[in-house]
Amino acid sequence: GNALANLEKKSNPDDDVKKIAEKISKQIKISETEQKWINANHSIRYWVSTEAPPYFYDKKQPVGLAIDYAKIVCATYKLNCEFKDQFTKTFSESIPFVGTESGPDAFMTGRFLPERLNYVLYTQKYLFSPWVIITRADNKSILSLQDLVDKKIIGVKGFVVNGMVKKDVSNFEFIEKRTQLDALLALSSGVGDAYVADLVNATFMIAQYGLSNLKVAAPTEYPIQGESMMIRKDWPELVSLTDKIFDSLTEQDKQNLKTKWFSVRFDYGDWQAYFIYASLALGALFISLLLFVFWNKKLKKDKLESARSVSICEVFCLSVCLSVCLFES
């Protein structure tokens, strides 16, 4: 089904982009060098993915959170920008071709790797999501990175997290896929044991494609690195112009953009409901821990040796079970 049908019926998805651009265009000061670059009337081709929601959606006219940010840049400075799924190469395959006829001029998302500096310049970071471990729902043995030892781990070609996993996990088989969708479909079909993925992209794609046999099994220990826009090296002006947009956006502007795309409902599941259930589960866990504290004080007061056989572990397990029941209900 069309994940954006309800949103598009309500309003023009670009209305809020235009309002933000009109507001901040009055605040930004442009240098002579930047103005000269703007006057050159460059045609800017942004690389668009077809499978990275909520940053990009697969449509004839691609839309998404990252595209909104780029469109604000383009509308503020009245730039000539293209958002088309026009490049045959994947994200990592396209980086060496940035600025050429067969490659884009800019990428709207990208984490830092030193070797990429040979091809691109980075803006400041503006999108943030943690790395998590995705497994099949029936896998109960993987609860941390340490549990990936001797396992088959799926990864996407060129992704930053691959190097971190290879450094921290020993004796595992690495299964490389071209795209995030390829990785998730492979895991869902029984290939490999786990996939270390971007939480936002993975959860939205699991919902979008109805991969109900997959789950977020555990967080990783990796810090949230953040995504930047990556721009061809001979256009430093576009980097500084983009950073000025990021600096001018208010927290309310950013929250409005996130709310717009994170509230999209897919045919499989409602991720707002997912977070409601998660909150209920955490609330149940908190209440059960309070009950444990009360129970422990009672034991000390009554000095009943037989009652003391109830261990912390047993009470904690009860709280976890309650949380899981609420979450899965």
0.85 surpassed by pTM? no
pLDDT of amino acid 252 = 95
> What does pLDDT average to in each consecutive run of 10 residues of the chain (329 residues)?
43 80 94 98 92 82 93 97 90 95 96 96 96 96 95 95 94 95 97 96 92 96 94 98 97 93 54 43 50 53 45 43 40
pLDDT score of 295 = 54
Distances (CA, A) of 201 to 2, 188, 192, 196: 18, 16, 19, 11
Q: What is the pLDDT of residue 134?
A: 97
**231/99 Cα distance (integer angstroms):** 9
pLDDT at 73: 98
- The predicted structure's pLDDT at residue 300: 52
- The 3-state DSSP class for residue 202 equals helix
Closest to 52 (Cα-Cα) out of 132, 117, 109 = 109
Burial bucket for residue 112 (CB in 10 Å: 0-12, 13-18, 19+): middle
- Give me the pLDDT at residue 51, please: 75
